[in-house]
């Protein structure tokens, strides 16, 4: 098989900020020798240190035939639901990739009949280079977005936790209330102070 695509997301379990979904297409006919060596450390983005993720992001950009990214805003997540938003974005990025992939691999999810033909791979970001590459792209893009948003919402510490729930983030939400970036459809304990 020559053209293989993978898709994955970052920010699924985050309390604040967007969901970012990436699709990466590799042409295995040209991905050989020194070009492929720079991808040797590909893995689930959560298993890779920040510095390595940044280097892998650059390597994926240099080696991929095509990359597509969707940033799903908080309003869409709250309106349509996290899972539905994720599946729609995954279908969209796979459709974007050109030339069309001979195999589309998805980290763990079936995308439904309107998606390009695909296969759900359990733990795909650890088992498929294309899915791992999409995981890296999604995570790096999302972390960069959240670090930039920290300047607009300095009370929440997004630069350190990028929107995931931590004791610091929990305390900030309890003190300042949720911001526009917080997913109100989530049932978070730190929202209880506002409800009271």
Is residue 12 within 8 A of residue 86, CB to CB? The reply is yes
Please tell me the predicted confidence (pLDDT) of residue 95: 95
The answer to which of 7-21, 34-48, 117-131 has the lowest mean pLDDT is 34-48
Residue 195 has pLDDT above 60, yes or no: no
Cα dihedral across residues 114, 120, 123, 129: positive or negative? negative
Helix axes 129-149 and 50-63, enclosed angle (nearest 10)? 120
pLDDT, tens digit, 9 for 90 and up, residues 57-77: 999 999 999 999 999 999 999
92 DSSP 8-state letter = H
Closest residue by Cα to residue 146 from 66, 50, 27? 50
Please tell me the predicted confidence (pLDDT) of residue 151: 96
pLDDT, tens digit, 9 for 90 and up, residues 112-128: 999 998 999 998 888 89
Please tell me the predicted confidence (pLDDT) of residue 96: 95
pLDDT, tens digit, 9 for 90 and up, residues 142-189: 999 999 999 999 999 999 999 999 999 999 999 999 999 999 998 888
Place of tokens 């983030």: 169
Across 41-45, 51-55, 142-146, the highest mean pLDDT is recorded for: 142-146
Q: How confident is the model at residue 37 (pLDDT cuts 50, 70, 90)?
A: confident
Closest residue by Cα to residue 83 from 19, 162, 179? 19
Separation of alpha carbons 193 and 176, rounded Å:
10
CA atoms in the 13 A half-sphere facing the CB of 177: 5
Helix (H, G, I), strand (E, B) or coil at 105: strand
Contacts of 181 (CB under 8 A, 6+ apart): 16, 17, 74, 149, 153, 156, 158, 163
pLDDT, tens digit, 9 for 90 and up, residues 154-163: 999 999 999 9
Per the omega criterion (within 30 degrees of 0), is the bond before 99 cis? yes
Residue 81 has pLDDT above 60, yes or no: yes
Please state, in angstroms and as integers, the Cα–Cα distance from residue 86 to each residue in 100, 141, 185, following that order. Answer: 21, 16, 15
């Amino acid at each position: 098989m020559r053209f293989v695509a993978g898709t994955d997301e970052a920010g699924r379990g985050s309390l604040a900020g967007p969901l970012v979904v990436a699709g990466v297409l590799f042409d295995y006919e040209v991905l050989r020798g020194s070009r492929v060596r720079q991808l040797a450390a590909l893995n689930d983005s959560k298993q890779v240190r920040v510095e390595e993720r940044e280097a892998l992001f650059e390597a994926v950009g240099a080696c991929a035939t095509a990359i597509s990214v969707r940033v799903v805003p908080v309003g869409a997540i709250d309106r349509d639901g996290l899972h539905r938003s994720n599946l729609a974005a995954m279908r969209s990025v796979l459709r974007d990739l050109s030339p069309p992939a001979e195999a589309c691999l998805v980290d763990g999810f079936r995308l439904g009949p309107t998606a390009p033909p695909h296969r759900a791979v359990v733990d795909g970001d650890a088992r498929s280079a294309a899915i791992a590459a999409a995981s890296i792209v999604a995570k790096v893009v999302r972390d960069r977005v959240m670090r930039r948003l920290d300047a607009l919402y300095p009370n929440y510490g997004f630069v350190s936790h990028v929107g995931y729930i931590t004791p610091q983030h929990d305390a900030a939400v309890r003190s300042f209330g949720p911001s526009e970036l917080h997913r109100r459809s989530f049932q978070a304990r730190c929202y209880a102070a506002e409800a009271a």
